[in-house]
Structure 1
């Protein structure tokens, strides 16, 4: 589904991503781990279209999207979330979901004046879908709450819900466990697993919570110094001496 080929990202004299290559198969939950500064978020930004690489290619479903703008990638079903949620804090939880679907009839001034019945119909359909999403996320009781008042974990669930309001095929999750209490984290894990298992979502997630990675992800890719260090199932990656060295900053012998 996704192929990253020899990506390089330079910021002046600093190389954040260094000839990085990896593949993500459709129908998987791929974990992306590595120490701080490994280049994970920069790689996410390139895949999502927030950054254009110095060199290399990104291919999505067989198409080279390296130079494609982020909104074009969004319309193709490539969606990302953020470590710090980007909710519209003054809008309600329901409104945050309803505004996500692209190209809604109500966005047209002409349609609002001369096709208002169609606009009302589309809006009602979008609202029904939003309520279904809230029920799935177990957030229906917060539908009319301002999104800015939610807890960290509830905001992460809302971000996941916003991806569900699109025609997402590949979802990039940037540290979904960050700032989430353990109870809501278990719920978040459950919802990700259900979307993957029952609705066919493909996920890539950056995460430092190894318990979450172990539960959800196969394969797991470890990055260090802008490159892929090792890839495999969780047990294989966890036991690799190079991973210990990257995380602990020690030589392989010392880490052992």
Structure 2
């Protein structure tokens, strides 16, 4: 589904990503791990369109998309979540989901005057989809709660819900387990697995919780100093001496 070829990103004199190459196969949950400063977040940002590569190719479904803006990536089916959720705090959980689908007729002023029936039908469709997402995630009881009042783990579930409101093909999850209590972490892991199995999502996951990566991801790609150190099953990763050395020498996150 996604091929990264010789990807590079420079910030002045700092090379955060260098000659990075790997593939993400359709239908997998691929882990992207590495010590602080390995270039994981920078790589994610280039795939999602938030940063343009200095050089290299990002090929998604056979087309080079390197340098396209975030809204273009979104329309092609690449969706990203963040380590710190970006919810609309003063809107309800249900409203947070309903604003996601693009090109809703109700967003156009004149459509509300001359195409009221179309606007209402589409709003009902979006609401039904949002309620389905809440039910799937077992958070229907939070639908009328302001999103800013949710716990950290509940906000991560809301992030997954927002991806369900799109026609996502590839979902980039940035530390879905960060700051989440163990009970909700199990729920998040279950939901990611179910979305892959039941709704054909493909995931790429950045995560520092190695137990979460081991239980979810195959393959696992290890980055170090901006490039791929190795790729394989988590059992191979954990036994690789180069990986252990890389983690002992980590610096700041990019």
Which residue matches 2:241? 241
**Residue in 1 aligned with 2:191?**
191
Confirm or deny: 8 A CA contact 2:18 2:227 kept in the other structure.
Answer: yes
Could you say what secondary structure the match of 1:171 adopts?
strand
**Displacement, 1:203?**
0.1
Given the two structures, how large is their TM-score scaled by the length of structure 1? 0.96
Instruction: Give the gaps of 5 or more residues in structure 2.
Output: none
Q: Distance in 1 between matches of 2:69 and 2:222?
A: 27
Higher relative contact order (CA 8 A, sep 6+): 2
Counterpart for residue 95 of structure 1 = 95
In 1, distance between residues paired with 2:244 and 2:67?
A: 36
2:114 is aligned to 114
Number of the residue aligned with 1:207: 207
Task: Report matched runs for 1:125-140 at 5 Å.
Answer: 125-140=125-140
How is 1:153-168 mapped onto 2 (pairs within 5 angstroms)?
153-168=153-168
CA RMSD of aligned residues (A): 0.9
Q: CA deviation at 1:199?
A: 1.1
User: 1:5 corresponds to which residue?
Assistant: 5
1:31 Cα shift? Answer: 0.2
Q: Secondary structure at the match of 1:189?
A: helix
- 2:16 aligns with 16
Conservation of the 8 A alpha-carbon contact between 2:51 and 2:67:
no
Give TM-score scaled by structure 2 length.
0.97
Q: Deviation at 1:111?
A: 1.1
Describe the superposition over 1:173-213 as per-residue Cα deviations: whole angstroms up to 9, x where unpaired.
Answer: 00000010000000000000000011110000000101110
Q: Which residue of 1 aligns with 2:76?
A: 76
Which residue does 1:254 correspond to in 2?
A: none
1:45 is matched with which residue? Answer: 45
Q: Please give the secondary structure, in 2, of the residue aligned with 1:82.
A: coil
User: Deviations 1:85-131 (Å, cap 9, x if unpaired)?
Assistant: 00000000000000000011111122111001110110011111101
Indicate the SS of the match to 1:109: coil
Q: 2:142 maps to which residue?
A: 142
CA contact (8 A) 2:33 2:222 kept: yes
**Mapped partners of 2:50, 2:128: distance in 1:** 31
Aligned to 1:253: none
Cα distance in 2 between the residues matched to 1:69 and 1:209: 30
- Distance in 2, matches of 1:55 and 1:213, equals 29
**Unmatched runs of 5 consecutive residues or more in structure 1:** 251-256
1:67 deviates by 2.3
Retained in 1: the 8 A contact 2:220–2:231? yes
**Runs of at least 4 residues off by over 2 Å:** none
Q: Secondary structure at the match of 2:205?
A: strand
SS in 1 for 2:110: helix
What is the CA deviation profile of residues 52-97 of structure 1, one whole-angstrom value per residue up to 9, with x for unaligned ones? Answer: 0111111101010012111011011100000000000000000000
Deviation track 1:15-53 (CA, whole Å, cap 9, x = no partner) reads 100110110000100000000110000000000000001
Task: Tell me the alpha carbon deviations over residues 137-161 of structure 1, each in whole angstroms, 9 at most, x when there is no partner.
Answer: 1111110100000000000000000
- Report the equivalent of 2:220: 220
